[in-house]
Every structure is written in structure tokens, then in C-alpha cells.
Amino acid sequence: MTKQKFSFLFFSLIVALFVQAGEINRFNDGWSFKKGPFTNSNSLLLTNHIGGKWEKVKIPHTWNAEDMQMPMANISAFRNPQERFYTGQAMYKKTYTPDISLKDKRVFLRFEGVGSVADIYVNNQFAGRHKGAYSAFTVEIGRLLNYGKENEIVVVADNSCRPDVIPVNNVLFAQYGGIYRDVSLIVTEKINIAVDDYASPGIYISQGNVTAKSADVAVKIKIDNKTGLKQAVKLVTTIFEMDGKKVKAKKETPVELLPQGRLFFNHSFVISNPHLWQGLEDPYLYKVVTQVISDGNIVDEVVQPLGLRNFELKAGDGMYLNGKKVPMYGVCRHQDWWQKGSALTNAEHDADLAIIKEIGATTIRFAHYQQAERIYAKCDSIGFIVWAEIPFVNSVSTQETENAKQQLTELIRQNYNHPSIYIWGLHNEVYSPFEQTIPLTTTLNDLAKAEDPDRYTASVSGYNQIDALANNNADVQGVNHYFGWYGGKISDIEGWLKKIEKDFPDHKVIFSEYGGEANINQQKEEVGEVGDCCGFNKKYYEAFATKFHEIQWGAISRNRYLLASYIWNTFDFATPMSSQGGVHSRNMKGLVTFDRKTKKDPFYWYKANWSKEPVLYLTQRRVIDRENEYTSVTVYSNVGVPRLFVNGNEITDFSKGTTDVHYIFNSVRLKEGENTVEVKASAKGKAYEDKIVWRYSADNKKSADNSQPVERMGEHIGL
């Protein structure tokens, strides 16, 4: 019987990921849930002693989908924001009756994500523990099962913040809690490709000397032999073309498996005339199938993607993919959705990637933690260039060393074979005490290089100082800075870019975060270059975020020094410890609202600048009630010079803005009442238009821009 572990279907950009196993069964159904706290520690093993009602749930599930995103009605009664949502233990239970035929097999549970510390019990016996909400883990349960009988499986999930598990707080984003990603039951023979190597696929595909003429490929295979006897088997690795049928290369090796330890084997190939993985332009994927054959039977099989490519970051120049310079149009992505939290299905992950593709991004920073396996697999097949990272963020406890190392190892091993990933993120805005941050980041860099010497590493600073103490312990220095939002004014970016290019010409620098908040329910016609940050009663005008991105992308697009830049953020997301801009528990720097229903003006700014799709767009469409008789009208057009009509009259006086797609029509006069604003353009024989309606009244009270500069207090917390 053929036993598949990791399977990928690469046809028509559809990727179906089945987790580790000989035989794989989704284990998402049939769970019951009970939220704590639990007063008696013994009750964690004796679920029948826990009173109250158990809720029937289906995985993925989190108990914080709403209360970490929206406060209770009487929010003023809570002195501490932490009191608005539950952190602590919760319990999941499920019954499982394994067939008697499985008694001679190996049986595992694989959890793709449990927030944030998980204890697993089978029939009241401890089976395993995992610390960390964002990486997968496996637990072998076979010896604890009663075959042919009903067994109870209990998962105790605890999303309490603790100093030995990163992230150590809920400041930058929400740790929702729960079994919020898929669970799988894995059954293998006693000879199998490793299931429990940090929940990795058990094979690691390395590549080198990649050119259009040839590429070196090495497949490292980890084998377990639990028969207790020496075994003779054959290892077969076949590299198929993208269609999964035509063989590109194949290797067979007879091997002898000893009864002790884990065995390591290698298959090496030289691929002639490879079809290269060229990002969005041509995301070609080979399929690597590794099989273990015993007595003529396939006893185990792993299927993994292979995208042959060579990444090179050239200081002061940019990213080269297979020797071809590619633009690094970057966005960041948090995984949570409005009223779903982190408990997402493939549909939500796919929807996010579709929006990111629509805007024209070429690269994504998945911040600030390991994200769903579906995400990385889809990025392989779509062609995005990916930054993956661990949740070592914001604060240092001095107790997180071992867990940070564990989560980095998991991130790398679980995602080693994804060709889309070019860099591993080690830390984000982690500062004092430097006596912990500096040596730990150095240790993490060394660990990353030992696990994967072929990819870059990055550390990220919230200071705009390239040579700050916590920086430069990795290959690439990321800088998060929000000119005009947390300090200074928007156009300060120009001087900063000139200065760092002059002072640090040989450094590899990425602008890893920049952005401004935009509450679509707060509108204003005219804004300055200083945002109204930060606080619940502040005004987060959409027009400010629009101006922010127009100026900042204009500066970035003219700069060759930065290797890449990443907008913070694609989507609004939950910040349960803060309330700002008239909305509780939310960061509104997203280009798209939390519910994914509204694309803000800055979204179309980037789509016009980045995408090959036609864009003709009028800004300030939500500033319906106008205060000024004379106003400017801004149009984004990548389909040629637009023609503007106001109430049927053409306006011809325009100036160019910060990029070639930026058109500003000056001193447009509005009449009393409704004004129809239309813009038209044509390209390649096709006509495009956009239309909005504004209402002007001389009685409208014109409000002044009273935003004041906000002093930067050493570091910001990304809120």
C-alpha cells in the first residue's frame, strides 16, 4: 500500500497540502470545548469531573475570535485592557476508536498550530507538550491507545503570556488561543521517513549552482527504523516535471537500516537545462517524490516542491532572481480576520493572497510569526518572494532563549523546501536589555546558518539608525520607521534615505515597515504632513494615510539603495492592548479593512504603481461632504493621461505628483449641492472611467488641521 506524507498538487496554481503520513486523516471533527479557568489541576486529566456545558466545535477554533477584537460594552469599567479578553487554559476533548489493524503501526497526532502552549493527554496519560502558538508539532500516541476501543484525547491549550515563550506579551498582536489550525492523524509503518523531526516533512532539498544550463540538487532523507531489526530497503527519489508525469531525474539506492538511531541518506542530482522558478513571471515547480521500498512494496512516500532558483541581494542595488533584477514591491500580512481571529480556513488564506496579488506586490513579509502551511505552499505556486520569521518581538524577558531557538528550528525545518522563501527573520524591534538581545540574535543567526546556509537572515530595528546596538547581527538589516506618524513629518524620508546611503553604502538594508493609520469613518479634505497619533480620541484620517503613501512610495521608488520595502500592513488587524483612532483593539494601518470589504485609497495608489492591471481611480471618494468651494482632485492612472470632468465640464489644469501615475487637478470649483466628478482614459483601444459624487455647501464648517507632532520616545511599538 502506498503511503503518502506531504502531497502537493501544483496544477493551475492550486496547492492541496496533506500533512505527514503513511495514511492521513483530518482530525478536525468531533471535538468538544470548555473554557477555563479550571480550579482543580487534576481535572485536566479527568474531563468527566468538569462541570458546566461543553461546546461542540470544529477545528480550526479559537475562543478569542471576538473579545480580543472588540471590547465589552462597559469597557470603561476595566482598568487593564487585559481584562477585556480571556487568557488562560481551555480544554478540547475528542473520542477516537483506532482499528485493531493499527496496533503494529506508528500513530501520531500532528497539530499545525495551538495557541500558545499545548499539553496533550491520551486516556489520562501525558503524551506531549509544545510551547509556541505558530509552528506545527507532532506527538506520537500509538503506545497510549487501546486498539479496537474508545479512547479519549484531551488537549489543554493555554494562551497566557509567559516569559519563556515568544512572543512574551499581547502588545503588537493578539495571541488568540485554541486549536486554531488543522489537526491530522498520521499512521505509518515502523519503517518510515521521519514524522517527528520538528514536524518537518523529513526530507530536505538543497540546491546550488543554479543556472539556465544546470542545477545541483541534494535531497537529504531522514529514516526511522522501529522494527528492532536490521532491514534492507531501497530509497527512490524521482524528480517530476510540473505535470507530475514526465520524469526529469531519478535515483535509486539500496540501503541497510540499522535498528538503532535515526538514519540519514542523501540523493544528489545534476539537473540539465532546468526550468527555473522565476517568481510571479514563471513560478515553475518540479515535484520531488521520495519513496521507501521494502520487499517490493512502497512503505512510505514524501512529496515536496522544488523550485530551482538563485536569490542574490546586492548591497545598494536590489534583488536578483536567477541573475535578473526583480522589483521588491512588498507588503506585510497578519493572519487574523474580523470575528474569526486566527481560526482561518484555506478560503481566508487564499482570499488574502488574491488581494495581495491584485495590488501588484511581488514580495510578502509574513509578520510576525510562522504562518499557515497553506500560505507558503500557495506562495510557491503563485510566485511571491517570501520573508518568514519567528515571533521574537517587542520585549525581552531574558528567559526566552531556548524557546526562540526551538521556534526558529521549527520554522526552518518545516518550511525548508519552499522555494518562495528567501530570508529568515530573527527578531523585530527587540531592544533592552541589549545584554540579552545581542547575544541571542547572534545565536539565532548562527542557528539559522547551521540549519540553512543558503538563505539570508534578517534582524529588524524600530530605530532609524543602521548601526544601533541590536542591529547588524544578521545578513540583512531591516528598519521599521514611520516618518510623520510616530515623529517628524512624512517627507523626512527623503533626507533619511540620502543619509543612510551615504553613511552605510556596503550594508544590506530593507525598509521593513512603513505606514500610517486610516479609519475610513474619519474623513477630511486637507491634511498636513504630521499625523494625529496616538490615542483613542485622535483622528486617523484616510486622507493622511493617502498623502503618507503618495510621498513615501514616491521617495522609495526613486531610491536604488533599499533592497526592498514592505508596507505595514495589507490588512487592519487586532491589537488587544490598545485603543486608537476611535476604534478599540485595532491597528488601522492596513490598506484593506479588517473585514476585507473595503480597499482604502492607498490600496489603489499601490495598485496603480505596481500592478500590470489597468487602474483609473479617483481618491477621497468617502469625503462626500466638502468644505471647500475650490479643491484639488487626485487621480491615479496607469492607463495614460486622464481626462477630468466636473459636472460635465472638462478640467485640463493638472500637475504630476510623486510618480508617473499620480495626477493632481488644481483649483477645481464645486457648485452648491451635488457635484459629479468623472475621470476617463483609454489605453490599447479600451476605455476606462471612474465616477464619484461630492456635496458642497458654503454653510459647511471648515475645520483646521490641528495635528501636532508626536515625540518619538526611544522606540515605537508598532501600534
Summarised one tens digit per residue, pLDDT across range 460-517 is 998 888 988 778 899 999 999 999 999 999 999 999 999 999 999 999 999 999 999 9
Report whether 93 contacts 157 (CB < 8 A).
no
Task: Tell me whether residue 45 is in a domain.
Answer: yes
Task: Tell me whether residue 554 is in a domain.
Answer: yes
Q: Is 450 exposed, middle or buried (0-12, 13-18, 19+ CB in 10 A)?
A: exposed
Task: Tell me whether residue 223 is in a domain.
Answer: no
pLDDT at site 82: 57
| DSSP letter (8 states) at residue 283 | E
Q: List strand residue ranges (DSSP E) for 262-317, in order.
A: 262-272, 277-278, 282-283, 286-294, 297-306, 311-314
The C-alpha atoms of residue 208 and residue 31 are separated, in whole angstroms, by: 46
**C-alpha cell of 522?**
474619519
pLDDT at site 421: 98
pLDDT at site 115: 92
CA dihedral for 639, 689, 363, 551, sign (positive or negative):
positive
285 CB neighbour count, 10 Å cutoff: 25
Report whether 527 contacts 539 (CB < 8 A).
no
Helix (H, G, I), strand (E, B) or coil at 145: coil
**C-alpha cell of 564?**
526592498
Nearest to 428 by CA among 559, 568, 533: 568
Residue type at position 635 = V
- Do strands 151-158 and 117-122 pair parallel, antiparallel, or not at all (unpaired)? antiparallel
Along the chain (719 residues), what's the average pLDDT of each consecutive run of 10 residues?
39 31 80 88 59 91 88 48 80 97 96 97 97 98 97 96 94 93 97 97 98 98 97 98 96 96 97 98 98 96 98 97 98 97 97 98 97 98 98 93 98 98 96 88 97 97 83 93 95 96 96 97 95 93 98 97 97 92 94 98 98 98 95 97 97 97 96 97 95 92 41 31
Task: Tell me whether residue 267 is in a domain.
Answer: no
**Which CATH number does the domain housing residue 396 bear?**
3.20.20.80
**Which CATH number does the domain housing residue 78 bear?**
2.60.120.260
Nearest to 480 by CA among 536, 399, 552: 552
**Which of 147, 181, 215 is the last residue before a domain boundary?**
181
In sequence order, the 6+-apart residues with CB closer than 8 A to the CB of 634 are 546, 618, 619, 620, 657, 662, 663, 664, 665
pLDDT at site 394: 87
| Residues assigned a catalytic role | 429
Greatest CA separation found in the chain?
91
In sequence order, the 6+-apart residues with CB closer than 8 A to the CB of 245 are none
- Do strands 421-428 and 456-461 pair parallel, antiparallel, or not at all (unpaired)? parallel
| DSSP letter (8 states) at residue 281 | G
Helix (H, G, I), strand (E, B) or coil at 24: strand
Residue type at position 498 = K
The C-alpha atoms of residue 358 and residue 604 are separated, in whole angstroms, by: 10
The C-alpha atoms of residue 539 and residue 354 are separated, in whole angstroms, by: 31
Report whether 195 contacts 187 (CB < 8 A).
no
Enumerate helices (H) and strands (E) in the chain, giving the number of each: 7, 44
Task: Tell me whether residue 518 is in a domain.
Answer: yes
**Which of 601, 617, 651 is the last residue before a domain boundary?**
601
CA 683, chain centre distance (Å): 36
Angle, vertex CA 471, rays to CA 469 and CA 476, nearest 5: 165
pLDDT at site 13: 30
**Which of 601, 634, 662 is the last residue before a domain boundary?**
601
In sequence order, the 6+-apart residues with CB closer than 8 A to the CB of 280 are 362, 382, 383, 384
Report whether 448 contacts 464 (CB < 8 A).
no
**SS in 3 state form for 573-621?**
EEEEEEEECCEEEEECCCCECCCCCCECHHHHHHHHHHCCCCCEEECCC
Count of domains observed in the chain: 2
CA atoms within 13 A on the CB side of 349: 20
Task: Tell me whether residue 340 is in a domain.
Answer: yes
Task: Tell me whether residue 657 is in a domain.
Answer: no
The C-alpha atoms of residue 517 and residue 470 are separated, in whole angstroms, by: 27
535 CB neighbour count, 10 Å cutoff: 12
Domain with 582 in it: 315-601
Helix (H, G, I), strand (E, B) or coil at 76: helix
Report whether 65 contacts 343 (CB < 8 A).
yes
Give the helix/strand (H/E) hosting 33: strand 31-35
Angle, vertex CA 59, rays to CA 54 and CA 62, nearest 5: 70
| Interval 568-617: pLDDT, tens | 999 999 999 888 999 989 999 999 999 999 999 999 999 999 999 999 99
Nearest to 453 by CA among 196, 208, 288, 262: 208
Angle, vertex CA 473, rays to CA 469 and CA 478, nearest 5: 80
Task: Tell me whether residue 71 is in a domain.
Answer: yes
